[in-house]
Each structure stands twice: as structure tokens, then as C-alpha cells.
Chain A
Amino acid sequence: MKPAAFGYLTPRTREEAIEVLSRYAGDAKVLAGGQSLVPLLNFRLTSFRYLVDINRIPDLDYIRSEQGYLAIGALARHRSVEQSAEAARECPLLPEALQFVGHPVIRQRGTVCGSIAHADPSAELPALLTALGGSVVLEGSSGRRVADAEEYFLGYLMTAQQPDELLVEARFPKLPNGSGFAFEELARRHGDFAIVGVACAALPDGSVRLGVCGANSVPFRPLKAETAAAQGDLQEAGRLAAADSDPDSDLHATAEYRRAMVSKLVERAVRHALERKEGNARG
């Protein structure tokens, strides 16, 4: 059989899930959509003693509009968020970015929170969460806490989540009316993980927010580039974002190429977001 052996636990409540996660701390793994975890199991790139399948916990599957942010529960699938009217209205950059995540079968199963918890530096949603200054809600044996995206992502597949913690909700700040937004990505084939991806929101107050994936061990906000973009200097924004990236070379692209693509995609994302913002202003 492909995966190494493990025990299968099916908690029915969050409390039960947290209880087993803390009992087997470090030796238990959460299963949400399984779209990242099961391929890793099949390759035996990961193994653990207990699998904690959270799919039978009823109150984690939600998309809610809250004061200032869109709340996505741990079991909301990519595809439900992609098709959600709330998401389209309150944070349209989210469904736009989801178009770049895998293909529909993967999105049918994979969860937004799972993608964030997995923390692949090439993944779209962590970059988006970082760009917008979003956060995650973590629940563990010592209680509930909210962690900002920038403190949550620590490195390649590494987060500030403790082994006994469950990521129960991701919070994506709403885009105010009159914002422009864009997600630009370079990938080998549509649906592959990004070689480089850029999320951009141009806000009505004139500020611009950017998030970059695939160019660092964590998704990041190129702050100097945001300032240049807000001043309308798109080329300079691209150059500054490239200077702030620290990509690795791999099979898919050299570090140099990735940096050049950060520059191009930032320029393109900002232009596209500003155009849409203007379009919105004209109504």
C-alpha cells in the first residue's frame, strides 16, 4: 500500500479534535480536503501515527460576512468560495485568485484554510491573505487566538500553528467599494502552482497593496513597491518588488528568471488593478 500505516480518528466536534491533537501532539495530522496531504502520503513524504479527519465536524463549513472581513471556515471548499455571492461582493480578489488554484476537481475538495495551513510559498491564497493584511483564527488546548498573516507564515511549509492547534477560520479583509484588484500569475500550465504570482488591491484611499508568491520562502508584501505603485510609478514598483524578493532556483525556473517575473507581474497586476479601479469609479 502506498501510505505508511496510521490510525484514523474522526472527531465530531472541535473540542474533540483539539483534544486528540494535544494528546498526540506532534504525532497527529489534520486531514481537511486531503489535496496536499494525500499526495504526500502516497509518496511517503510524510508519515504520522494518527490522522485527524475533521470533515465530520459540522460547524466548520461556512462563508460569513463579518464586520470588516469575510470569514471562511475550515471546511469551506475552494469551489464553494469561488461560487459564493458573499465572496464575489465583499472580496472579489478571492474568487479571482482561486481560478489559479489547481483544477475544478481539486477545488471541489481542497479547502481555503487547508491551503493556508499548508503554507506552500508558491500558493496563491497565502499571498492574497498577506497582501490584504488578513489573519487566521487558531484554537488549541490553551484557547483561541488570532494570528496575522505576516506572523503566521514562517517558512517553506512552516507556520506559527502549534501541533495541538486547529486552524478554524481564515479572515480576508473586505475590499471597500470602488477598489480595483487583480491577480496575475506565471505557471507552466494553468492550474499548476505558480512560478510567480502577484495579488494586488488598489484601494479607494489611493493606497496599493501587493502580495507575492513563489519568490521567497514565505509570501510577502513588498512595501516599497506598494508606495511606488500608489504614486503611479509602475516600473519602479516592479523593480522594487524584484529587489525585495529572494527566490531559489529550481527545476521550474532560475532565481534570476523568477526575480525578473516578479518585476513584470507586479507591473501588470498594478496596471490591471488601477484600470479596474478607474472603471469602478466611472461606474
Chain B
Amino acid sequence: MKAPRLELHMRVNGRAVALEIEPRELLIDVLRNRLGLTGTKKSCDVEVCGACTVLVDGKTVSSCTYLAFECEGRDVQTIEGLADGETLHPIQQAFVDHQGLQCGFCTPGMIMATKALLDENPDPSVPEIKAYMRGNICRCTGYHAIVTSIQHAARETARS
């Protein structure tokens, strides 16, 4: 079946974007293949791994299972939108400072989920961090350092 194409308007990292898409296109493919924002990683395709986590209107979504047109008129934030020029966002800096990454594949998703967590709960306890991050998997098994990074990110964000 040939479905009529859709005109999609959204903001991505603060910039207005207008694109013609097919109704079946997923947000992750639009971000990576159409907009060249390859920081968002594609892995499990069924929202069990969290690597593709981005924020839509400030809330976490798995972009692998989110139809792009669901974003019509909405605001999308990806890992590329966090740093201020050459200055890393405090969450990114905390992950660097506390070795919250090894291979780095899960990191964009981890950081976007952390952003949503801290926006909602600026001073999370360790159990709260672990519960919130349950949907983000790290196969290098660096969880300990990730939790530490998030704790430091919370402190830094509170300060700035």
C-alpha cells in the first residue's frame, strides 16, 4: 500500500525542523538517517535496552518504538543538544569524570534518562536512581560507576 506522505514539524534540540516522512517512519530513523544525529543509538528495537532514549516534551521515550509523526508539533531533545558549544553539560561531565562509560554505546541513552530523572527529582537516592534507570542496560556492566556519575551529576546540576 502506498500511504500519503506526511509533513512533520518538530523542534529538535531547539531548532525547527520540517520534513516529509512516511507514516511508518520511526523517530530513531528520522533522527539518525534524515537529520544525521547518530548520537542516539539503535540496538534492541523493542525498548528493552534504553540505548535509543531521547526526550519528547521533556519526557523519556524509546525512539526505536516511537513513530516519528507522534512528534508532530513537539519538542525533541537528543544527546547532541546537551553540550553548550565545547562545554559539556554537567551530566556529561560527571560521566566523564567518574568513568560512567566504557564502550560508550549505552551512554547517550543513560545520559538522556538521567536528564529526565534529575528534571523530575533533583536529589534522587541510590534506590531511586536504580529504579529509574532500570530500562537502560549497560553490557560492559559499568553500573556502579554509572550510579556514581548520576549522583555527582545531581550535585553539579543542583549547584549550577
Please list the residues of chain A having a beta carbon within 8 angstroms of any beta carbon in chain B. Answer: 1-8, 10, 31, 34-35, 38-39, 41-43, 49, 51, 53, 55, 102-106, 108-109, 190-191
Contact = CB atoms under 8 A, between A and B. Distances in A.
A6 B60 contact: no
Contact of A6 (B24, B47, B59): B24
B6 A106 contact: no
**Central interface residue in B25, B26, B70, by most chain A CB within 10 Å:** B70
Interface in B47-78: 47, 50, 53, 59-62, 64-67, 69-70, 72
Contacts of B134: 103-104, 190-191
Interface in B11-27: 22-26
Given A39-B47, A53-B69, A6 B64 contact: no
A109 B29 CA distance: 19
B25 A105 contact: no
A103 B50 CA distance: 10
Contacts of A41: 24
* B: interface residue count bin: 20 to 34
Contact of A104 (B6, B22, B64, B135): B135
Contacts of A105: 47, 50, 53, 60-62, 113, 135
A5 B132 contact: no
A102 B29 contact: no
B45 interface: yes
B127 interface: no
Given A34-B66, A109-B66, 9 more contacts: A1-B25, A2-B24, A5-B23, A10-B69, A31-B70, A105-B47, A105-B50, A105-B60, A108-B60
Interface in B94-118: 113
A4 B24 contact: yes
B47 A5 contact: no
27 contacts: A2-B26, A4-B1, A4-B24, A5-B2, A5-B22, A5-B23, A7-B1, A7-B4, A7-B23, A8-B3, A8-B6, A10-B72, A31-B67, A35-B47, A38-B65, A39-B47, A42-B26, A43-B46, A51-B23, A53-B69, A55-B70, A102-B135, A105-B60, A106-B47, A108-B59, A108-B60, A109-B62
A3 B62 CA distance: 16
B1 A106 contact: no
Given A8-B69, A39-B65, A49 B1 contact: yes
Contacts of B47: 35, 39, 105-106
Contact of B45 (A1, A10, A42, A103): A42
A79 to B, nearest CB: 9
Contact of A42 (B23, B46, B53, B70): B46
Contacts of A35: 47, 65
A6 B25 CA distance: 10
A108 B112 CA distance: 14
A29 B1 CA distance: 16
Nearest to A104: B132
Contacts of B65: 34-35, 38-39, 42
Given A1-B29, A2-B26, A53 B4 contact: no
Nearest to A107: B135
Nearest to B46: A39
Nearest to A53: B70
A41 B47 CA distance: 13
Nearest to A79: B59
Given A5-B24, A105-B113, A38 B66 contact: yes
Nearest to A110: B47
A109 B67 contact: no
A7 B61 CA distance: 23
A210 B119 CA distance: 38
Nearest to B29: A1
A6 B3 contact: yes
Nearest to B5: A8
B23 A106 contact: no
Interface in B21-43: 22-26, 29
B59 to A, nearest CB: 5
